[in-house]
Structure 1
Amino acid sequence: MTGRRLSTVAAAAGLSALLCAGAAAPAYAKSPSPTWESRALKLKDAHKKAQGEGVKVALIDSGVADHPALDGKVTTGPNLLQDGVHKGDAKFGVHGTAMASNILQAAPKAHILSIRVIDDDPSNDSDLRNATDNPMARAIQYAVDQDVDVISLSIGGDTMGDTFDEKDTAALAVASGANVPVVAASGNEADELNDTSYPAAYPSALAVAAFKKGGAHADFSNVHTYNAISAPGVGITSASNTGGWEKIQGTSPATALTSGVVACMLSAAPEHRLSPGQVRTILTRTAHHPPGGFNPVFGYGRIDAAAAVRAAAQPPREETKSRAHKGAAHLAKPDGIEPTQHPAWDVATLTVGLLASAAGGGMVAGAVLIARRARRTDGPATGASPGQPF
């Protein structure tokens, strides 16, 4: 994995340095209920129909620490890093514990399989960057072998030509072939370079953008045509690896919440065994659409969990028979693994700049031409998959 980076969190400030703007929010003992994100997703109505019963969600992240709210709901899978950090250590599961709680907020009766592939401490970057294997690909394969129903990836990296990985595509193909939806974070760099992020940019992944309270775009949430859907991602109530609760932000919690919604959809209609394509279709059809039905900011819109769960009971039929192509001839690469390209938004020198209005919460989008340059490797910069958590 040449040029790959597995950095996660600034050591001094922990998770909040990565997920939260400004000073870290203090941890607190009890999770408030209901949260704004649960209201925005309409989880109360969704839970009348399903709560993720019988569904196993693979959380491929930094591990999950012990927490009262997670007791009996998480199985600890393999640690694929071999970096000397183990469950119970202060640096274990900072990001992953938060993600587990976000999944369970949306699907309280689901079960989580935790697989550790990233480290919360960037001081381990040098060893991880030189890894010869691909922990994320191995984790996806392991998850499929364990018969999981959903895979949640709140991790990723930038693309300057070095983050597309054939092992990733092979692992994602295994998941797709096993009928397992893969949910991935869009990325947190809209207010910087707005880089393309893998695994979100792979066609088989369901890429999740983030919005803030009131429905406006979260300033950091990447703007790309691969975005499929958007979910709450600012001020999200999340479990701390120290046993308390804190507010975080990022496309990470948006992705975890979406994975929980998918778990509810699957448990609402277990007889149908929804495919990744059906999950995508239901989520995008039932979302609160932006003007025009789709845009690179929100994808097909903000998730409506209640509507998605209802629609899962009568899923759209998938057409499996091939149909003759009618139109001009088109030749593609025969290996089928060409990286996703989005000419209108992120090829060559085009980056989207987003300016949020502090007073009104509005947003102005402007296309800014910049010279593509080599990605920095210091600080909390996003590298490559598995990469830093969003």
Structure 2
Amino acid sequence: MTKALLRGAAVALSCAALAVLPAVPAHADALRAQEWGLEAVHAQQAWHTTKGKGVTVAVLDTGVDANHPDLKGQVLPEKDLVGFGAGPGEGAWARHGTGMASVIAGRGHGAGNQDGVLGVAPEARILPVRVILEDNDPQRERARTEKAGALADGIRWAADHGADVISMSLGDDSESAHPEPREDAAVQYALGKGIPVVASAGNGGLKGNHVSYPAAYPGVIAATAVTHLGARARFSTRHWYATVSAPGDAIVMAGTGDGYLSGWGTSPAAAFVSGAIALIRSAHPDLSPAQIRRLLTSTAQDAPQGGRDDDYGAGLIDPAAALKAADGLKPVPQKPVPAAYAHRYFGPGPTPDDDPAAPTNWLPWAAGALGLTLLAAAFSFWRTRP
């Protein structure tokens, strides 16, 4: 399991878990046959409309290896908000981020791009924003104390530098996880600029299902993970903020250099969702984040009874169906959502007695005053009686 951490006084970030198995060969027969997720989300049907051309997906993660054969030419210059740790070419640099980038926008290589892996949106571009370190980076402890604000900074930087989608295959779902106002405000800033924000729902399904941030911030599209059988992956966190589900088990992806990995987690699930949104934005660039969210949820496959649940959200994403449903939609501007704060975040809300904005019920006070008046009159009558 790979886990990268940045901890500070107010925030803790961990890369959503990715179990890395032995590298697999690059030949198409060995890889494409294992990419069950593309078939599950009907990616090939969606490609009849678009493959994501013209869309930039910001990958907030570890580094991204722009020289991998399946990503070459599609990765924009990286913004490093950590500033230290392993560098390009080192083993502790870009395994996780490269894998997520390939799930979103891998395009294969070789004659006709028949070898290597394909992403959900193979013509989209990747904007790498390094906000966390790999698990085996020796500078990880230093980053915990010095770069706790990198995620919030990364969201804002991506929003200001051409991102059409912000993808975060990361999160903190520890027992001490809590909302950070600075991150929340950064998410609302991106949404206000019309940029959908995606995050992993968390890998706490076997560890208490703790709330994960940034997945739980308002407006974030949170991805849970399913297996090739369509069942909820046992590790996938169940919670109220689950928006949709996506493939997250036995996912083949690019590694560093020219290698390949197979892994699991809500990390690749979030990457699948980000790729699906890239397809929608390519065909319908003016739709708001709220409209895109509704498209994903209203067209999801295998919708749970009642329309959603904590395991799957609204169901398994279907970008082909979402693209079809988007035809004829008129863009509606995104309404800003005020950022919340830690001391009142996601609580039950004020009770009628402690809500200063609630109207005051004067009936009991009036009744009490009348009672006191009657008692006083009775006492006065008793003292003055003949």
TM range (shorter): 0.7 to 0.9
**How far is 1:336 from its partner?**
4.1
TM-score by length of 1: 0.77
Tell me: CA distance 1:159–1:70, structure 2 relative to 1, closer, same or farther (3 Å). same
Tell me: CA distance 1:158–1:51, structure 2 relative to 1, closer, same or farther (3 Å). same
Tell me: CA distance 1:38–1:83, structure 2 relative to 1, closer, same or farther (3 Å). same
Q: Does 1:27 align with 2:38?
A: no
Q: Deviations over 1:263-318 (max 9, x none)?
A: 00011123xx1111001000000001112211000001111121012122333664
Q: Which has the larger radius of gyration?
A: 2
- Alignment-derived partner of residue 55 in structure 1: 55
Alignment partner of 2:32: what SS? coil
- Alignment-derived partner of residue 74 in structure 2: 73
Cα RMSD, aligned residues only: 2.3
| Conserved 8 A contact 1:227-1:296 | yes
Q: Does 1:166 align with 2:165?
A: no
Alignment partner of 2:159: what SS? helix
Q: Does 1:2 align with 2:17?
A: no
- Alignment-derived partner of residue 263 in structure 2: 248
TM-score by length of 2: 0.78
Structure number with the bigger relative contact order (C-alpha 8 A, sep ≥ 6) is 1
Give distance in 2, aligned partners of 1:237 and 1:63.
18
Among all aligned residue pairs of Structure 1 and Structure 2, give the percentage whose two residues are the same amino acid: 38
Give distance in 2, aligned partners of 1:160 and 1:114.
29
| 73-82 vs 93-102, which moves further | 73-82
Tell me: CA distance 1:95–1:321, structure 2 relative to 1, closer, same or farther (3 Å). closer
Matched ranges for 1:306-385 at <5 A: 306-315=320-329, 318=332, 336-337=340-341, 340-341=345-346
Alignment partner of 1:74: what SS? coil
The structure in which a higher percent of residues are helix is 2
**How far is 1:109 from its partner?**
0.6
**How far is 1:63 from its partner?**
1.0
Give distance in 2, aligned partners of 1:108 and 1:319.
28
- Alignment-derived partner of residue 43 in structure 1: 43
| Conserved 8 A contact 2:11-2:180 | no
- Alignment-derived partner of residue 100 in structure 2: 99
Q: Deviations over 1:177-235 (max 9, x none)?
A: 10000000001110112111000000121000010011001010000010000000011
**How far is 1:84 from its partner?**
3.2
Give distance in 2, aligned partners of 1:335 and 1:4.
16
Which among 140, 153, 168 is matched to residue 125 of structure 1?
140
| Conserved 8 A contact 1:3-1:129 | no
Give distance in 2, aligned partners of 1:49 and 1:277.
22
Q: Does 1:189 align with 2:225?
A: no
Give distance in 2, aligned partners of 1:251 and 1:51.
23
Give distance in 1, aligned partners of 2:213 and 2:261.
27
- Alignment-derived partner of residue 86 in structure 1: 87
- Alignment-derived partner of residue 167 in structure 2: 152
| Conserved 8 A contact 1:30-1:244 | no
Q: Does 1:225 align with 2:240?
A: yes
Q: Gaps spanning 5+ residues in structure 2: where?
A: 1-7, 106-118, 349-386
Which among 134, 137, 152 is matched to residue 152 of structure 2?
137
Give distance in 1, aligned partners of 2:47 and 2:177.
42
Give distance in 2, aligned partners of 1:306 and 1:231.
14
Give distance in 2, aligned partners of 1:240 and 1:335.
36
Give distance in 1, aligned partners of 2:269 and 2:220.
15
Q: Gaps spanning 5+ residues in structure 1: where?
A: 10-17, 323-333, 344-390
Q: How many residues align?
A: 320
**How far is 1:121 from its partner?**
3.1
Which among 205, 228, 231 is matched to residue 213 of structure 1?
228
Alignment partner of 2:77: what SS? strand
Q: Which amino acid aligns with 1:286?
A: T
Give distance in 2, aligned partners of 1:221 and 1:277.
24
